[in-house]
Chains A and B, each alone.
Chain A
Amino acid sequence: MKQAIRFFIAVLATLFIWQVSSAQRTITGTVKDEKGEAVIGASVLVKGTTTGTYTDENGNFTISAPANATTLVFKYLGYKAQEVPLTASNVVNVSLEPDVLGLEEVVVTAIGISSEKKKLAYAVQDVSGDQVTAAGNNNTMSALAGKVAGLQVISSTGSPGASVYLQLRGATSITGDNTPLFVVDGIPIDNSYNYSGSPNNVGALINNNLIASVDNSNRAIDINPDDIASVTVLKGAAATALYGIRAAHGAIIITTKKGGAEGAGKGLHASYSTTLTMENVNKLPDLQDEYVKGSGGSLRSYESTASGSWGPAVHDANGNVQLYWDPSQQTDFNQYGELVETTNPDTFGHALIPFTPYDNAKQFFRTGHTFENNIALSGGGDNGGFRVSFGSLNQDGVVPLSTFDRYTAKIAGQSKIGNQWSVGGSVTYTQSGGTRVQTGSNTSGLMLDLLRTPISFDNSNGSDNPTDPSAYILPNGYPRVYRGLAPQIGGAWYDNPYWTINQNPFVDDVNREFGYGEVNYSPFSWLKFTERIGNDFYSDRRNQHFAINSAALPAGQVFTQDYFYRHVNNDILATATKDFSDKFSASLTLGNNAFSQHQEQNYVQGDQLAIPNFYNISNAAVVSSVNIVSRYRTYAFYGSLDLAIANQLYINATARNETSSTLPNDNNSFFYPSASASWVFTEPLGLSNNKIFPYGKIRASYAQVGSDAPPYVLGTPFTSTTANDGWTTGIVFPLPDRNGNLTTGYGNAANLGNPGLKPEKTWSYEFGADLRFIQNRIGLDVTYYYSKSLDQIVPAPIAGSTGFQQQFLNSGSIENRGWEISLNITPVKTKDWRWDVGINWSTNQSKVLELANGVNTLFLGGFEDPSISAVVGQPYASIYGTRWLRDPKTGQIVIDDGTLGQEGYPVEDAQVGVIGNNEPDWISGITSTLSWKGLSLYVLFSIRQGGQIWDGTYGALAYFGRTASTLTRNDSTIFSGVRGYQDASGNIVTEGSNTVKVPLDQTWYQALPGSGFTGPAEQFVEDASYVKLKELSITYSLNPKWLTKTPIASLDISLVGRNLWLSTNYKGVDPETSLTGANHSQGMDYFNMPSTRSYGINLKITL
C-alpha cells in the first residue's frame, strides 16, 4: 500500500512539477517578517513574467531569473506586497510589513477574475475554509449561516442530508428558485432541489411532491467543505452581472484548496482531520400527557377507529390515577390489556396495572452519529502543484435507520509550462445518498403519526429494537396502528413510524463528477488568454417502496426515479492589463461563454404488489412510467473594463449579451450592463497612515440583469391524461379499454403556451462604505441596495374557461431594498490574547408590485389553505389562507352573536387573505473568537427577528387533542372581539364586545372554527423569531515547538457543537424549518421533522 501511494505521488509530481531550465541568473535570499522570523511559503515572482518560486521552511528561496529581469515581487498573505529592484548582487533579503488593513487581499469575482478587495465597488464577503468547517459542519450551505450579511440560510430539518435554502438580498424572481449560483473554481455547479414522487402530478400538484415526501438534499451538499479554501459571496447584480442569467440571485464562489499555492510552501504535505459528533432532537412541539385515546371524555378501545386524544384524564380531580390496564382483556395493541377507567381498581376482582403514559417521541428518536474523515496530500514546487483529497461522511440520523453517506475524491493541479503557458484543472467525484426520512403531509410521514398517537398507545410495543416487527405488524398481518384494525378504517390511518422506517424505505444514490480544465497563454506580460471548460454531471437514483397495507397505498407501491443531469460550461476570454503610470492602470477582459444543460428524469412506478416483501417492478399489477427530457443552452459575449486612478478611484464597467434557447427566436437575446465606482476618500485626505481613521471608501454601482423562461413554455402541447380531483390520486392513462387492451389518452395540457414571451429584467443599484478605524481594530462595512424586477415570467393561473389552467406571462414585478452591515471589532489584541467580534446584520424588504393582469395572488407552494403565495402589495411569500372575520372599522374579530348558532365563538371570514409573511424583519449573526496562545473559543449566534410560519402541525395536533393547549379542554373562555354577524350583502353588523363564555372543548377543536383542518389557518400562524447558539468550538492547537522532533507540523483538537441553545416562542419544532425543502415556498410547518443539536470532537493533523 505504502509503495502504491509513493508511486502515485511520484507520478503526480512528474505530472505537475515541471522542471524548466532557463537559468540566466540565480538569485537567492531570505524573507522574514516584521519580527524577524522566517516567512514560509512566501511567493517570489520576477515582475512581468510568470517565473516564480516560494520560500522554504527557513524562509530561503532560490530563483532563476531571466537576464533582463529588473524587479522581484514578494507576496505573502496578510503582508503588503513588496517590490525589490534587482542590482548586481545575486542576494536579496527582504523584510515584509504586515498588511494591517487587509486591502491587498485578493478575492475571486465573476468568471474567475481575481481582484484586490480595495478595488471592488460592490459588496462581497469572504468566508475562509476554516470558518466553514469551524464547528465540524459537513454541509457547506448550512455552514454559511450567520457568517455573511444578507445571506438567509434555512436548513429544512435535522434529518441526515436535509436540504438547505439560501437566499441573498431577498427574492428577485417571483416564481424562480431565488437561490444563489454555486461556482466551484470558475465553473457553475448545479444546486437543484429535485423532488421525489410522480412527475405525473403536473401543474400545482407537483407541489404534492414537496409537501408530502422525504427530506431530500439539494445538490450543493456534494461539495466537501474540507476541500474549500475560501468562499466569496457576491451579493448584488453588479457583482454577478458578468455571470449572466444563472447568477441573477447572487453567487457563492468557492475556491478549493490547491497544492503549491501561496502560503503552502514547497514540498509534500499531508493533512488528516476527523470529526465525530452526536445529534439529538433539539425541540419538539409541546404535547399533553394527561388525556388518552377517546372522544367526548370517554375511553375508546384500542380497536376503536377513534383518532383523537379526547378520552378521560389519567388522573382524577385529586391527582390520583384513575386509568388502569386490565390484563384480563388481552389485546394485540397493548401487552397490558385494555384500558379501564376506575377510581376503585379493587372492584374488578383481579389485579389491574396502573396506567403510565407512553412518550412515543422520546422512545422513537435516537442519538444520531456523524463520523467524518478527510485526508489530503498536496505538493508543490516552483512551477506548479497538486492536491489529492479523500473525504468520507457517515451519518446515522436521530430517526432510526435513517442515514446519509458521502464519499468524495478530488484531484487538482496546476502547472506552468515555460514562461507563457500554464495549465490547471481539477476533478471531483462524489458519491452520496442514504435512507431518507418521510416527512410532511404524508400518511407515512413520521411526525404525523408519532405526534398524533395518544399517550395510551405505545408505537414501539415495548421494544427497544427499532426493527422489531411486533411494533408495527399485528399477528394477523395488518399494521399495528393506534387507529384500530386497518381494514375496518378504510384509508383513515397513518403508518406507525416503525412501519414506515422498516417497510417504506426511501433510498437515494447520487454519483457525481464535476471539474474543470484551464489553459492560460500569456504571449505578453500585459495580455493573457484563458480557455476554461468545466462540467457537472450526476445521476441521482432513487428508490421507494410502500409495503402492502401501508396507509396511503394499501395495495403497495414501488417506484424508481432516476435523475440524470449534465452541463458543460465553456469560457474563453482575453485579458489585457496595463499600468500606464503609477497613477493610472487599466484592465480589459473580453470573453465568450457557452453553456449547455441536459436534464432527464425517468420515473417508473408499480402499483398493486402481488407478493409481499418483494419490491421489484415485475411484482406490480399496474406499471406507469414517465420520461422527461429538458435541454437548455445559453450563449453569451461579455466584457469588463477596470480603471484604477491615483490609488483612490476605481471604476468598473461590464457588459454581457446573452442568448437563451428558451425564448422566441426574435426575442431571445438580452443585454446586461453594469457600472460601479469606488473612491478611497481617505487617500486625498492623506490619512493612510493615520492611527485613528486610516481608511475609508465609498462605493456605488448600478446594474441591469435579465433572465429567461423555463424550457418549452412557448407552445401548447397535449399531455397524457391524468384525471384527479384534488382529493384522490385519480386515474392515469394508458388504461384498459372496453376490450381490456391498454389505450392511450391525451388531452389539452394544463399550461397554455405563450409564443410572445420576452426576457425578464432586473435593475438594481447599491451604495456602500467600507471604513476602518484604529489599525483596523474596528472595521465597518455598510451597504444599501435596491432592486426592481420587471417583466417577470410568471406561471399565471388563467380562467379554466379558456380551456387551460395557467400560462407563463411577462407580467410580474417585485422590488427589494435592504441594508447590510458588517462590523468587525478586535477589542483585545496582545501578545497572547486576542478577541475578535464580528457582527453581520441585514434587513430586506421585498414587495410584490405586480402579478398578471387581474391577478392579485399567485400560488407558490403549500396547501390549498393555507398556501405560500405572492400577493400584490405584500412582501414576497405571504402566508395566504382562511382568516377570522374582522370588523373593518376596528379590526376586531367578529364573535358570533348567535346568528350562526355558534354564539360566543369567533367567525370565519368567507374570503381568504394574507395571514402572515415569512420575511424576517432582520437577521443577524454574531461571532466571537477569543484566543489565548494555542487555545481558542469560538461562538456564533444566529438571530432571526420577525417573519412567521404557519404551524399546521400545532393546528392538526390540537384537533386530535394532543397539544398542551388542549389541557384546558374542560375550561371556558371569553373570546375577545366584537359580537356581530355578516349580513346577506356582506356587511358586518356589530353590537358591542363579546361577553359570552364558551368551552374550549373537543367540539371547538374539531367541529367549530378552532379546528386545525377546517378552521381559519390564521390562528396557527406564529412568530418565527429565534436566537440560537449556532456554532461553538473550543480548539487547542499544540505548540509547534513541541512537535519539531516529530513529522507532525500541527495538531489541533476541538470540541465542537451546533445548535446547542435555542430561544424562541415558536410552539413547534425549531423555527428554522421548511416543509417544502430548498424551495421558494418557505414558511410552512406541517409535521416537519425536527432539527437537531450536535456536539462532538474534531482532530486535525498536518504533516
Chain B
Amino acid sequence: MRYIKIIAPAVIVIFMITLQSCKKGFLEGVNNDPNYPYQVTDRVLLPGAEGNLAYAQGGDMERFTSLMVQYITGYSRQFAAYQVYTINESDVNNLWNNLYAATMSNYKAMMDISSKEPTFYNTYDAIARILMAYTLGMTTDVWGDLPYSEAFQGNLNLTPAYESQQVIYDSIEELLSTAINELNAEPGDDVDVPDANDFIYGGDPTQWVALAHALKARYYIHQTAIDGSANGSASAQKALDEINAGGDIADAAYPFSSSQHGPWYQYIEQRDDITYSAEEDGVGTTVSNLMSSRSDPRYGVYYDVNGDYWGVGYLGQFFSGDAASVYLMTYFEEAFIESEANLRLGNTADAQTTLQEAINASFTFYGLNPADSAEQAYVSTYGVLTGDFNSDLKTIITEKYIANFLHPETWVDFRRTGYPALVPNSGDQIPLRFVYPQNEHLYNPQPSLPSGGNNTSSTLFSPKLWWEP
C-alpha cells in the first residue's frame, strides 16, 4: 500500500510528460491556411488589378468627379448631400483604399515579382508600370500630395510618408519611360507574356507603348498652367513630342460583360440616387443642357431619350449598359491634347485640324458617322477656332468636356483651365480637390505635407493641387 502511494504519483508524472510530448505533433501545421495562396504569379495578378482599377474609376471616381463638373446631379440620399458639396472624409475612404490597397498595391506586387527575375517578366512589368502611372496620376489629380515611394510596403512601413505632387509626377514620368524602354527593348525571352488575361490590350506591347506615350502627353498637358512659359507652351511641346513619338492610341478600355456588370449599371440598378438629364428630372445637368442647346448628335447616345433601357432621360446604354466599358484613355482624348498643345504653341491651324479630328473621333467612338449631316454641321459650327487664345482654349476644352463624358480627366481640365464655366451647386466655388480620407487622417496622420497643408484637416478647397493655376 505504501509503495502504491509513491508509484501512483510517479505514474501521473510520467503520464503528464508523455502528454506534454504529444503537444508538438498535435499543434503542428494546424495554422497553415488552406484557403488562400501566399505566392502568386503576374498572370493572375494582372486581371484582378485591372478589374479593380476599372471598378474604382467607373465607381466612386467617376461619380464624384462627374458631380464636380456637372455631368450628373446628386438626387437623393447620400448623393443629395454630395450635390451641395457635403463630402466627408469617410465618403472617400473606399475610393482611396480601392486605388491603393486593391489596385496599385497589386501593380507593386507585379513589379516586385518581375524584379526578382528581371528578364523573364518584362512585359508584365511594363504593363504594371503603365497602369501604376495611370492610377497614380488619377489619384494625385484629385488628392495632390500622396505616398508613393514608401507606399505598398506592408509591415515594413505602416506610415508611408507623403511626397509632393510634383515628385509624384516625376515618378509617373519615370514609370512610363521605364515601361517604354522595357517594351521597346523586349528581347522576347519572357517566360510568360500576357494574352487574353490582359483585359485592356490583350498583351499587345505596341498598343501599350503608344498608351504610355499618350499618358505622358496627358500629364505634361496638366502642367501647362504652372510651367512658367507663355500659355504653357513648354509643357505643350513635351506633350506634342510624346504624341508624335507614340502615334495614335487604340482606345484603352476595360470591358465589363453581361455576366459581371459594369459600375454605372450596378449603381443605377442598386442605388439610383443620381439624375442625368432634363428629360429625367426636369432640370438637367450643365452638360446635358449644353448638348441639348447645340442639338449635339451624341445626345441620343449619352441619354436614354426613348426610355428603352433604364427609363426616359437616364444615362444611355453606351455608358450604363451591363457590359459598358470603363475607358482609361481614348484616341479622341489624345487628339484633344494634340489640339490644345498646338493651340498653346501658337499653331492655330493645326489646333483646329486636330480639334475637328478629335470631335469626329468622338462621333466614331460613340457609334455615329462623322460624315452624316448633323455631325458635319456640328463640327463646322463648334469645331472652329478664331485665333483668340482664350476663346479657342475655351472652345477646345468645352468640346473635350462634352466628348470626355463621365471621365475623371474632365475635372482636371476644368481646374487647370477654368473651362467650361460652371455655376457652383452650393457656395461660390467648385471644389478643387477631395478631402483626404478618414483612414489616412486617423492611421497615417501627416501634420505637414511637402506642399504645405496636412492630410488631417484638408477640405474640398485646400491644400491646393500643384498644377492648379
Contacts and interface: CB of A to CB of B under 8 A. Distances in A.
Main secondary structure of the interface of B (DSSP, over half): helix
A628 B51 CA distance: 24
A869 to B, nearest CB: 12
Contacts of A801: 96, 100, 146-147, 151-152, 160, 440, 444
Nearest to A594: B26
B196 A856 contact: no
B257 A723 contact: no
Contact of B12 (A489, A574, A631): A574
Given A635-B26, A717-B38, A728 B16 contact: no
Interface string A719-756: 11101111111111101111101011111111011110
Interface string B104-141: 11101100000000000000000000000000000000
Interface string A975-991: 00000000000100000
B30 A632 contact: yes
A746 B37 contact: yes
A711 interface: yes
Interface string A623-661: 000011111110101000000000000000000000111
A729 B153 CA distance: 29
Contact of B158 (A574, A747, A802): A802
Q: Report which residue of A660, A728, A736, A852 has the largest number of chain B beta carbons within 10 angstroms of its beta carbon.
A: A728
B154 A637 contact: no
Contact of A552 (B44, B45, B270): B270
B: contact size bracket: 35 or more
B443 A662 contact: no
A637 B20 CA distance: 8
Given A490-B311, A714-B31, A744 B47 contact: yes
A737 B44 CA distance: 12
Interface stretch (A209-217, A422-430, A792-800): A792-800
Interface in B12-62: 12, 15-16, 19-20, 22-23, 26-27, 30-31, 33-38, 40, 44-49, 51-52, 54-56, 59-60
A718 B40 contact: yes
B447 to A, nearest CB: 12
Contact of B267 (A594, A608, A633, A727): A727
Interface string B422-463: 000010000000000101101111000000000001000000
Q: Report which residue of A596, A633, A723, A730 has the largest number of chain B beta carbons within 10 angstroms of its beta carbon.
A: A723
A865 B95 CA distance: 17
B88 A747 contact: no
A622 B269 contact: no
B55 A723 contact: yes
A229 B198 CA distance: 65
B160 A802 contact: yes
A631 B311 contact: no
B30 A725 contact: no
Nearest to A734: B47
A86 interface: no
Interface stretch (B73-81, B166-174, B344-352): B73-81
Contacts of A908: 86
Interface string B229-242: 00000000000000
A592 B16 contact: yes
Contacts of A728: 59, 263, 266-267, 269-271
Interface in A796-828: 796-805, 807
B47 A730 contact: no
Contact of B51 (A574, A745, A807): A745
B90 A631 contact: no
A747 B260 contact: no
B154 A804 contact: yes
A721 B36 contact: no
A803 B259 CA distance: 29
Contact of B256 (A489, A622, A731, A807): A731
A585 interface: no
B305 to A, nearest CB: 15
Q: Report which residue of B40, B102, B196 has the largest number of chain A beta carbons within 10 angstroms of its beta carbon.
A: B102
A1014 B12 contact: no
Contact of B48 (A527, A574, A721, A802): A721
A622 B36 contact: no
Nearest to A715: B38
Contacts of A92: none
A738 B30 contact: no
A690 to B, nearest CB: 43
Nearest to B435: A910
B47 A745 contact: yes
Contacts of B52: 721, 723, 747
A727 B199 contact: no
B293 interface: no
Nearest to B79: A1014
A488 B310 CA distance: 7
B159 interface: yes
A15 interface: no
B260 A737 contact: no
A854 interface: yes
B260 A732 contact: yes
A729 B270 contact: yes
Q: Report which residue of B4, B31, B146, B437 has the largest number of chain A beta carbons within 10 angstroms of its beta carbon.
A: B31
B266 A745 contact: no
B311 A488 contact: yes
Contact of A737 (B47, B146, B270, B439): B47
B202 interface: yes
B270 A805 contact: no
Interface string B262-281: 01001111111000000000
Given A725-B95, A750-B101, A608 B158 contact: no
B292 interface: no
A857 interface: yes
Nearest to A573: B12
B197 interface: yes
A711 B31 contact: yes
A718 B36 contact: yes
B40 A491 contact: no
Contact of B23 (A608, A627, A659, A662): A659
Given A572-B19, A736-B260, A748-B105, 19 more contacts: A592-B19, A635-B23, A637-B20, A721-B47, A725-B55, A728-B271, A730-B263, A733-B48, A743-B197, A745-B45, A747-B105, A799-B160, A801-B96, A802-B151, A802-B444, A803-B154, A856-B442, A1013-B76, A1014-B77
9 contacts: A574-B12, A668-B27, A711-B31, A723-B98, A747-B109, A748-B102, A802-B153, A910-B88, A1007-B80
Q: What 6 A-B pairs come out closest when comparing CB atoms?
A: A745-B48, A721-B48, A803-B105, A799-B444, A717-B36, A725-B59
